[in-house]
Structure 1
Amino acid sequence: MLISGPTPPAPAAATGNGAASSAWVLTEGHAGMEAQALGLAEALRLVPEPRRLRARLPWDWLPGRLWPSPLRGVTTEAGALGPPWPRLAVGCGNVAAPVGAALRRRGVPAVHVQHPKMDPASFDVVVAACHDGLTGPNVVVTRTALHRASPERLAAARAAWAPRLADLPHPLVAVLVGGSNGRFRLDVPVATRLANELGAMARFDRVGLAVTPSRRTAPEAAAALSRRLAPFGAFVWGGAGANPYFGLLALADAIVVTCDSVSMMSEAAATTAPIFIFELPGRSRRIGAFIEMLMRERRAHPFTGRFRSWPVAPLDDTPMAAAEVARRLGL
């Protein structure tokens, strides 16, 4: 079921051991997963401490639910996991799931984000999007993915980036570009098609363009976008210097986002800008269901190469999820 709740809790009080306000963020370091776990920890007003996990042999040959000793089966940049333990463990991903469950057995409250691919009862709370198809007494179901695009972060990014992008025409269209994965393809021909449609919008609708590729964008695809959009005066982030991502979200009058990432679409949905979804070659049942929800909510429309606007409100379930986790765990 979809759970509504109050605003997120106040900052957790520290205790003498120095770890009471900390939350270990357990992921394999993938940007989308880490952002979701970080977003929940930050919304809980805890201090997030990322722990990027790597499974040791032979653990990485087995499903997480079969790991005999998960805390011995992983390592991090700082070495093995050990005390002092955090106030909360927030995990996302297949490696994080057995580790979070093991920490819970040691008395650390554990929350898992997304389907854990093991018994949800192994955690205090599981936060899963509705398109994950997971329900249960300790499952909090959200419409959108969790994220870090809080109103406070967007306001700070707006102040930082408005002077840097002041010369771009308005309306300003932010373009969030993902990359190829196991379900969708974003190669040079697809990037060229996207650039051509963005260029047509700039030409006919007189919009400004601000484009940010992601870590997953192939360098040759990013180069094709930059080359073809240069005649339109577009800002295309090349990967050097400060990341403009939150600034573009905050300043955009509309957002074009590729369809490969639920995280990027959820972050776009948390703003006050209309969303256009650029379709990539490929298919995903889960992502398709998510896009259908955005369109039912009139939060998004397919991108057709032209600009238009319509009234929207932010669609953001991160505060609700944090409030429900805090209520259940007494944080």
Structure 2
Amino acid sequence: MLDRAFRRFVTRPLSIQVVSDGRIGMENQALGLAEAVQRLTPADITVKRIRWKPAFDKLPSALKAPWMLDASSDAPFPAPGEPWPDLWIATGRATLPLSLMAKRRSGGRTFVVQTQDPRWRTGDFDLVVAPRHDGIEGPNVLSITGSPHRVTPERVAEGAKAFAERLEALPRPRVAVLVGGKSRTHDLPAGHAASLAFSVGDAIDDAKGSMMVTYSRRTPEVAKDVFTFEMNAPGHLPGLIWDGTGPNPYFAFLHYADHILVTEDSANMAAEAASTGKPVHILPMVATKPADKFARLHADLRDRGAARPFDGTLDGWTYDPLAETDRAAREVLKRMGRD
């Protein structure tokens, strides 16, 4: 124990480079894992956002070269004479060729981690941290429930402070409703949004509780308007529906919620909700394509005791909060020989 403490004291901080295409949902996976590593050992984190020129974006990863990057991209590699990062954590298809180059060009000095299923030879990375519902295996693969994320008890508690006056007084049970929207596999047409709002509103009303509703960037405007109208029916429910202006109450909603309702189209929101230890109810969407991966995720969450399909009631249950990002961070350090 003392030896480990001494090593941490004398070892310089890890340098961690996070790489993504800049989309928040993607970046948060790599950044969340980096921050989890930083909570375990001193580390400095640098974020790089990249994008390929449109003419080259669809090329196979093996054919891409750094000169094909858009001028708006950050430089992904160190300048001559500058050190390579100790740890490279990247997310998404756009980063794959750069991750492979980083492993090769650094001469093994950089430990390369890819999150999500790279749909590439997993042995070409030092570690792949993939959602269990992606169904990939291998000696370099760590499967976790959901994806890495940035939600921690500390960040949730800190985010709640700005909304304490508005949310603490709401009648319990307080119900957070996290609404997604249109994706490759799901949609939220107006009629379905109205039906969902009616069902959710009835459950909250029956429990004499209150609502805390937020939408994603993918929520169609018409669905948002319909859902808001139904939930705001005169004399209906107390609570807060975030309209997208001002500070984002997402963390505050997670903090104050007694129940969390999440539409089935979002793997990230479901995994983040399950990190709170609060009952997670999965709301049905309209499927536009087979969504086996989401079905596997929801089954995984059910097996962990975290989530159940929404059945029109707000019956509660308990489980140990999921801490999969922290587990992945420990595995990264173990494989780097810094545990």
What TM-score, normalized to structure 1? 0.88
Give 1 or 2 for the bigger CA radius of gyration.
2
| Aligned residue among 319, 323, 327 for 1:312 | 319
| Equivalent pair of 2:168/2:256 in contact (CA under 8 Å) | no
Q: What 5-or-longer segments of structure 2 have no aligned partner? A: 1-6
2:261 and 2:297 map into 1 onto residues whose CA distance is 16
Do the aligned partners of residues 132 and 11 (structure 1) sit closer, same or farther apart at CA in structure 2, a change above 3 Å counting? Answer: farther
Total equivalences in the alignment: 316
| Aligned match for 1:44, one of 37, 42, 56 | 37
Report SS of the residue matched to 2:168: coil
Alignment of 1:25 onto 2:24: no
Are the equivalent residues in 1 in contact too, given 2:157–2:251 (CA < 8 A)? no
Which of 308, 324, 338 is the aligned partner of 1:301? 308
Bigger relative CO (Cα 8 Å, ≥ 6 apart): 1
**Aligned alpha-carbon RMSD (Å):** 2.1
Pair 1:72 & 2:67 matched: yes
Q: TM-score, normalised by structure 2?
A: 0.86
Equivalent residue runs for 1:128-147 within 5 Å: 128-147=130-149
1:92 aligns with 91
Which of these residues, 56, 59, 78, is aligned with residue 56 of structure 2? 59
- Tell me by how many angstroms 1:245 deviates: 0.9
Q: Secondary structure at the match of 1:44?
A: helix
Q: Tell me the secondary structure at the aligned position of residue 276 of structure 2.
A: coil
2:218 to 213, 216, 219: 216
For residues 138 and 131 of structure 2, the distance between their equivalents in structure 1, rounded to whole angstroms, comes to 13
Whole-Å Cα distance in 2 between the matches of residues 276 and 292 of structure 1? 12
Check the 8 A contact 2:50/2:73 in 1, yes or no: no
Map of 2:230 onto structure 1: 228
Task: Look up the match of 2:249.
Answer: 244
On the 8 A contact 1:97/1:116 being kept in 2, the answer is: yes
Does the CA contact (< 8 Å) of 1:269 and 1:315 recur in 2? Answer: yes
1:137-192 deviation per Cα after TM superposition (whole angstroms, max 9, x unaligned)? 21111123211111221222233433231232111011111111110011222221
DSSP-derived class of the 1:90 partner: strand
User: How far apart, in 2, do the equivalents of 1:167 and 1:272 lie?
Assistant: 22
Output the CA distance in 2 between the equivalents of 1:38 and 1:265: 18
Q: Indicate if the aligned counterparts of 2:50 and 2:74 stay in contact, CA closer than 8 A.
A: no
Aligned mates of 2:251, 2:10 — CA distance in 1: 29
Query: In the alignment, is the contact (CA less than 8 A) between 1:40 and 1:146 conserved in 2?
Result: yes
For residues 19-77 of structure 1, the C-alpha deviation after alignment (integer angstroms, 9 at most, x for no partner) is x644222222233221111110100104443322211254323121x2242x3332364
Percent of aligned pairs sharing the same letter: 35
